[in-house]
Amino acid sequence: MSRDRGLRRQLSLRSLRRIDRSALVAASVTALSLTASGCVVVHGEREVLPAATRAEAAKALQQFTSAYNAADKAYDSSLDADHVTGALSDIDAARLKAGQARSPEGNPNHAPLKLSDVKYTIVKKAGWPRWFIADAAGNKGGSARWLLVFTRGGLQEPWEVAYLTLVAPGNVPEFQKDKDGLAETVPLNSTELAAAPGELSQEYATYLKDGGESAFASGAHTSGWRTERQQEAKKPGLVTQYIDEPLTDGDYAPLAVRTKDGGALVFFTTRHFEKETAAAGTSVPTPNDDVLALTTGEIKQSLTMEFVSNEVALDPKGPGKVSILGRIQGLTSAKGE
């Protein structure tokens, strides 16, 4: 299974039974303490600084791509473990585990990911983590732009990709930048936007459960996904239940950058569960090999699947609706009962 096919399978935007048809050195200033000379000490944790130089960002992208391709070729998550974190780490590790189970000798259909026409958005901020966005064209995923968010928790830590989403070229917004070309982060508790960036994960989970009037605009990842779930919820001999949860701590923390129009582009994470329960006298349809590789227990009357999803949203300034521009979701585990 190639990385492209893996994205279609494991990073599915649809229900389990269609998983096999779907798409998947920071610029901080080191403190110099020359007490005798009276020089000013610069503390990276307090000063507003660029996350990286463009050369450092380019190097981080190159290192990620090399590791990502090596892991895909060998179906070995240890080969890119130091270059992924958060939602992408969960999704990627599960996909590689499933591939390894099917093909222990590696990926027979490996095709290296190649990124080009890269545009870097480097934010300036105080404290850690520091982060930047790489917006690139890829040789997979059609014409979609690859948005990768690199984060770093300290000067001695490696750059890791926490968020990876695919967005239509015309949907990537322009960012507000200063005279040095640096972007501005947006506080997660900002009240200037349609929704506080730090609350989007919870609001999205609530919307998927309850629907109704919400902060989100209609689209494939909002009203469209709810409609799809409703259609799949009850079928002859099979019921599917859904549970949605926010993921906001640690490496799953949302990140927001100011857009040129005063709004924000927000990256956030959610967790989703789907439980299929068969009627008495029947059984749950047998899932594909990739899903079975991530399943514990024996599938008899039910199968519960856990997914991690990372979203990128356009959060407008003032009143308005938040638009989900892209979402990549992957099965991370399953349990049969």
Report the range of poorest mean pLDDT among 12-26, 164-178, 228-242: 12-26
Between CA 149 and CA 141 the distance in angstroms is 18
Instruction: Please name which of 165, 115, 135, 125 lies closest in space to residue 313, comparing C-alpha atoms.
Output: 165
Mean model confidence pLDDT for the chain: 88
Lookup: tokens for 326: 């892209």
Residue 335 has a pLDDT of: 98
Q: Which residue has the higher pLDDT, 46 or 216?
A: 216
Question: Taking the CA of residue 69 as centre, how many other CA atoms within 13 Å lie in the half-sphere pointing to its CB?
Answer: 13
Nearest-angstrom CA–CA distance, 330 and 91: 5
pLDDT value of residue 45: 59
Q: Given a cut of 90, is residue 131 above it in pLDDT?
A: yes
Global pTM? 0.86
Q: Where are any strands of DSSP class E within 194-322?
A: 234-235, 238-247, 255-258, 264-278, 295-296, 302-315
- Summarised one tens digit per residue, pLDDT across range 197-220 is 999 999 999 999 999 888 999 999
- Going by C-alpha positions, the residue among 247, 254, 121 that lies closest to residue 190 is 254
Report the candidate in 141, 185, 186 with the shortest Cα–Cα distance to residue 167: 141
According to the model, what pLDDT value does residue 19 have? 35
pLDDT digits (tens, 9 = 90+) for 51-93: 999 999 999 999 999 999 999 999 999 999 999 999 999 999 9
Single-letter residue type at 200? L
Model confidence at 10, pLDDT cuts 50, 70, 90, reads very low
One-letter amino acid identity for 207?
Y
Alpha carbon 305 to its chain's center: 18
Which of 92, 62, 61, 88 shows the shortest CA–CA distance to 75?
92
Residue 36: helix, strand or coil by DSSP?
A: coil
Packing angle of the helix pair 54-74, 86-102 (nearest 10 deg): 30
